[in-house]
Amino acid sequence: MIRVLRPVPVERLKLLVFDLDGTLIDSAQDLCNSVNATLEKFGRPYLSDEIIASYIGNGALMLVRRAFATDDGKEPGEEFLAEAYKFFLDYYREHKLDYTYAYDGVLEALDALHKLHDQVDVPARAMAVLTNKPVRPAQAICEALGLAPYFQNIYGGNSFSTKKPDPEGLLALMKDAGATPEQTVMIGDSQVDVLTARNAGAWCIGCTFGLAPGSLEAIPPDVLVDSPADWTAALSPAKINSSGCP
């Protein structure tokens, strides 16, 4: 189902930028397992998957920081945090694909979107990934799951000096693709992605099937979709017009 809150000029779009975790892939279990392995290593109690999943979205360092602050509410010291973060990254690199998978319909939707520019009335479009996950595991996951060939660029949380919702990464992708904010849409599952789009002056599609759909209620995107299959309809002028959507 597609809910249009503010019509996106899909006929003019030149750049589609996707979040990774909670948008293209369900990586929650591997992230939760890696966090709990890190907590165990440093003598802390396990956290529920639900609690850990609520911490995902602002980068791996923030994920670890939040996890260690849960027990007593105190922020961990920077030296300790650095040690715990290193362990987390090493563990996650080894286990990043234990349970992670692409959501049903993602590959089919990306293939359909890739072919949209073959239509006479649709401009050529570039597709890219912008995630707060460290770039090497992000690239490795995209390659392993068959996602990488669809994307011009795959940028991570350490690809730039800032992370989402700072617009630096999205603006860099616009420059790479020769696209303006009006010609760009960010597709993600959380308010972090909505804020990134807003901060860059771009459009945003929110995915209610992701890891943090509740946050989309606080800061709504321009369009809400319930499955990857909806991306094609939401981004195709012909399908939007025939569906009766505004």
Give the pTM. 0.91
Q: What is the DSSP string of 109-131?
A: HHHHHHHHTTSTTS---EEEEE-
pLDDT digits (tens, 9 = 90+) for 148-180: 999 999 999 999 999 999 999 999 999 999 999
Q: What is the DSSP string of 91-104?
A: HHHHHTTSS-EEPT
| 170 contacts 200 by C-beta, under 8 angstroms | yes
pLDDT digits (tens, 9 = 90+) for 90-139: 999 999 999 999 999 999 999 999 887 666 565 678 999 999 999 999 99
Of 19, 26, 189, 230, catalytic? 19
Determine the Cα–Cα distance for residues 145 and 100; give it in Å rounded to an integer.
Answer: 9
Determine the Cα–Cα distance for residues 185 and 180; give it in Å rounded to an integer.
Answer: 10
Active site residue 19: yes
Q: In the prediction, which pLDDT does 238 show?
A: 60
**DSSP 8-state code for residue 21:** B
Determine the Cα–Cα distance for residues 48 and 2; give it in Å rounded to an integer.
Answer: 32
Residue 213, phi then psi, degrees to nearest 5: -65, -25
Q: In the prediction, which pLDDT does 122 show?
A: 59
Determine the Cα–Cα distance for residues 92 and 83; give it in Å rounded to an integer.
Answer: 14
Determine the Cα–Cα distance for residues 195 and 122; give it in Å rounded to an integer.
Answer: 27
pLDDT digits (tens, 9 = 90+) for 40-96: 999 999 999 999 998 998 899 999 999 999 877 778 899 999 999 999 999 999 999
